[in-house]
Structure 1
């Protein structure tokens, strides 16, 4: 994904091309520290990789959110942490131009254990169901 984005033109709100995307224009956000470390190792020290907490009050043209778990059951801190709307809102709001959510389709087909999990998961299913 990152390789495809690098060098692409970015326009401001008026449609003027402001620059071409560089690695500095991309934030990669993951909910778990182990995933952050793995992504940083894979992408190198120049990549801006961190948790939601690390990137508060920072922005980038593109934010890539790595969901990290194959299913909600695999989430080390539980579904409510992984799908927490406040944390996701902070991650999404860091993007000036584009947010990309990367995750396993298994997350969307997980059997929820509580009504709260159903409500949280529904927020992820809606865009997938209505994508053009």
Structure 2
């Protein structure tokens, strides 16, 4: 992940996940494995998720990578000071589920707290469906959904597309020691991805 871009959006089109997202687990695995070793210490890296089930999945992954010391938690439970790198897994991608838990997922505090914890880089991983979410309740739309859509629009408008392709291309060849991921990758290998980076946050008009 290019350090020139302090905010990076990793977008995918998987759309059937609720409290656990295997696609985002694979993406996080690849990102963490590519980070310089000095950025994987407890005080350098933090991963924020909305659900305890996704937290358990990511914790299991980190144990396999020998990084069980890395903090993974929900926004509500995230403790400690700032981290150099914050990774956010938005997790939910099923449109019906997103609509059902709208107020929880789009709580503005969730985004603000997560962003306030990063010192050098924020990596936001999410499904296109999170940014397509809508509601007939105008007040809820303006208070909950619009801030996320604004973030999405700013990254795409003022940022740069750094990469696009499938999940299989993003991962490349798996190590023989990680064959258990092959079954998951085979299931999702055709998922489309785009990566956007923004090197200077645009000022509000």
Q: Give the TM-score range, shorter chain.
A: 0.7 to 0.9
Higher relative contact order (CA 8 A, sep 6+): 2
Deviation at 1:74, TM superposition (A): 1.7
Q: Which residue in the other structure is 1:123 paired with?
A: 147
TM-score (norm 1): 0.77
Deviation at 1:69, TM superposition (A): 0.4
TM-score (norm 2): 0.52
CA distance in 2, matches of 1:76, 1:30: 18
Instruction: Kindly provide the CA deviation profile for residues 12-57 of structure 1, in whole angstroms up to 9, marking residues without a partner as x.
Output: xxxxxxxx42242110011111111111112222332111122244
| Distance change (3 Å), C-alpha of 1:2 and 1:61 | same
Q: Which residue in the other structure is 1:14 paired with?
A: none
Task: Identify unmatched segments of 5+ residues in structure 2.
Answer: 1-30, 160-205
Larger radius of gyration: 2
Asked if the contact 1:56–1:90 (Cα under 8 Å) also holds between the matched residues in 2, the reply is no
Mapping for residues 1-132 of structure 1, pairs under 5 Å: 1-7=31-37, 20-24=38-42, 25-44=44-63, 45-71=68-94, 73-75=96-98, 78-119=101-142, 120-131=144-155, 132=159
| Distance change (3 Å), C-alpha of 1:76 and 1:118 | closer
CA distance in 2, matches of 1:4, 1:32: 25
Deviation at 1:100, TM superposition (A): 1.5
Report the aligned-residue RMSD: 2.2
| Distance change (3 Å), C-alpha of 1:71 and 1:110 | farther
Paired residues in the alignment total 120
Q: What secondary structure does 2:121 align onto? A: strand
Q: What secondary structure does 2:69 align onto? A: coil
